Amino acid sequence: MSIKFIDVKEAVLKKGKHYMTSDYKTRNKRNHNGIDLIGENRTTDDVIAIEDGEVITSKYSQTAGYYVEIKHQNNYISRYLHLKKGSLKVKVGDIVTKGTILGYMGNTGNSNGAHLHFAIYDNKRVFQDPLPYLLGTKILTNDPFKEFVSNVEASFQTKVDGIPDFETLDKTITVSARINRKHPVVKHLQKYLAYLGYTEVGPVDGIAGPKFTQAIKHFQTDNNCVVDGILTKKNKTWQTLLKLL
């Protein structure tokens, strides 16, 4: 493939410009279990942690070269391969936060030219396409509130970082059984309401029907909102859900 710029929300290169030289493929002959990244104009860069976690690997292997693995809160693992010899900045057991420098991009192991091979394992050690994690449409944490906020941000196309802000609030729309009942945000609302204990919301089916209205009313009652079963900014239900009051 040709070099492709990726507008990442979650960086793994410190300078923040990410160009993909090889994408994730699991079905064709050239099985590639991660994506290859370089900086702008093929420059190298510091490699940073995509999300908080614990370092579980920091060593050399013949194929991976110098590499680091981080285990995240949801037990997914991010992997950073082919780092430069002598550049590893973390050791096994270190607790790192998002953005911590792990090492420097290199050409060690089975690599042709300096690049970062970035990969993600799920909690069963099955490779996942890492691109949605870089784009912020999937996240490496099981903090339900942060996940909910990230999903809301992705639904309304604001900066996806799991931290509620007024830009996101401004973009929210009215959701009810009558208006926007099939908006993509509905399934995230259903999942989060169920997590909060409003189990009457029913299955996560993406449709705001009578059960959804009931759960919203219950939430509004518990949080001293206007109880109308409609999710708007005007009745402060969105603010309450996003903890922006």
In the complex, the residues that contact Zn ion under the rule CB under 5 A are 36, 117
Report in angstroms how near the CB of residue 113 gets to Zn ion at its nearest: 11
Nearer to Zn ion, 64 or 193 (CB): 64
Contact 13, 116 (CB under 8 A): yes
d(CA 120, CA 140): 10
Report in angstroms how near the CB of residue 66 gets to Zn ion at its nearest: 15
Report in angstroms how near the CB of residue 22 gets to Zn ion at its nearest: 6
Residue 221 CA from chain centroid, whole number: 32
Report in angstroms how near the CB of residue 32 gets to Zn ion at its nearest: 6
Q: Which two tokens stand for residue 154?
A: 């992705």
d(CA 18, CA 15): 8
Report in angstroms how near the CB of residue 169 gets to Zn ion at its nearest: 39
The one-character DSSP state at 135 is H
Nearer to Zn ion, 34 or 229 (CB): 34
Contact 83, 67 (CB under 8 A): yes
Nearer to Zn ion, 36 or 69 (CB): 36
Q: Which two tokens stand for residue 122?
A: 């799920």
Nearer to Zn ion, 36 or 45 (CB): 36
Report in angstroms how near the CB of residue 28 gets to Zn ion at its nearest: 14
Nearer to Zn ion, 10 or 36 (CB): 36
- Residue of minimal Cβ distance to Zn ion: 117
CA distance to 47, 51, 180, 229, per residue, from 242 (Å): 32, 21, 19, 17
d(CA 94, CA 91): 6
41 strand-pairing partners: none
Only one residue has tokens 């037990």, namely: 75
Phi, psi of 97 (to 5 degrees): -110, 165
Nearer to Zn ion, 31 or 43 (CB): 31
